[in-house]
Amino acid sequence: MGTATRATRLENGLRVVTESNGSVSTAVGVWIEAGSRHEAPPHNGSSHFLEHLVFKGTASRSAFAIADDIEKLGGSINGFTTKECTCFHSRTLAQHVPVAVDVLADLVRRPLLKGEDIEIERDVILQEILDAEDSPEDFIHDYFLEQYWPGHPLGWPVLGTRESIVNLDRAVLAGFRQQAYAPDRMIVAAAGGIEHDAFVELCRRHFGEMTGATEATEADRPDFRPGVFAAPRDIEQVHVVIGFPGISVTDPRREVAEVLVSALGGGMSSRLFQKVREERGLAYSIYAFQSAFRDIGYTGVYAATSRDHLTETIRLVLEDVLAVARDGLSAGEIERTKGHLVGSIPLALESTESQMFRLARNQMYFGREVPLDEVVRTIDAVSADDVMLLAREIFAFDRLGIALVGDADGDLVAVPVA
């Protein structure tokens, strides 16, 4: 059975988007365009704190009932926060969608935000922060951005800091929710066994009375701070992120960037994996990545290696980066990487949950559905010249940042000049 994607905007500005594909399950998500990027400086972590807190109880459901109303039907419910959004989502059998929407709307619209619950969740989040700090591979990405985009909300951790979480109170959290949870900043997305018009009416019944609108403001882009940043830790390995500027989510060259990053370090056949791990055995884990936001992004390479191998590992990564910017990728690399990316698309969208995530993100960033065949055509059209030109723009050594976590300091690293 084929798929049908439709979108409707309610009278209050809330967007409803569905993909009907005849599945026995349906994933539903309520997406709010409010994340750590939208927080005030003293209140870092507010979005994530609220995401936790709404699950503690609403005007009509206890914390247990929120989970039980979904789980007794065989479904699941959860939430997450990013730098640019908060999402509450559920997956149930298709016939239980009305229950899922009722529970999700209850979370978003009627949380109690009780003082005693705030204190309990404060302790939980402080433990979550400590857990992240105890995981060098997780911590280094936050640390890199904190140093690379200093003082900007995109450089702040989604979880907040120990200092900011201790100082958050009910007035701050309630105020942030009042300002951020406006219908014109919300998307309700569903994928699976769903009928669009009936789902729109369901959303109108649960969300249609919401009021309020967000003032349009121009996003403030961070400045890049190049350099070497070190966070000493008494651990066996040195974790390193080598970062450069990147492109935004909506940049028309986003598929070119996918080819570039994937060929450089996107799998076991990639350049960096083969050179650093397979040929020289310098690192167990190494990969390239790009993190893209609405108006900016960054591109990086992560590796974990020993102190003795750190300098050599960084040298090899930067050599490859320079080589791609200078000479581009071979025709074989281009075709192999494009084949990998095209083949991975349907695999990544096998579940109704991943389909729902894609629907919402397309609506959030593009204001429309981006058909898969459009993505495939764009990937297929990527040329070697496209990749080389973008590599020369991204791999700007005057904006290179290197973050180290472990038994190392900045003196170990000499940043080359391209």
Are 47 and 395 spatial neighbours (Cβ–Cβ below 8 Å)?
A: no
| Measured distance CA(113)–CA(58) in Å, rounded | 8
Place of tokens 């400045």: 223
Are 45 and 37 spatial neighbours (Cβ–Cβ below 8 Å)?
A: no
> 248: helix, coil or strand?
coil
| Measured distance CA(399)–CA(408) in Å, rounded | 22
Question: Of 33, 51, 258, 333, which residue is the catalytic one?
Answer: 51
279 assigned to active site: no
Question: How do beta strands 76-81 and 401-406 pair?
Answer: unpaired
Angle between helices 307-327 and 384-394 (to 10 degrees): 130
| Measured distance CA(358)–CA(194) in Å, rounded | 16
Distances in Å between the Cα of 352 and the Cα atoms of 26, 71, 99, 199 are 6, 17, 17, 16
Which has the closest alpha carbon to 112: 181, 172, 59, 151?
Answer: 59
> How buried is 218 (Cβ within 10 angstroms: 0-12 exposed, 13-18 middle, 19+ buried)?
exposed
| Measured distance CA(240)–CA(233) in Å, rounded | 12
Catalytic residue positions, numbered: 51
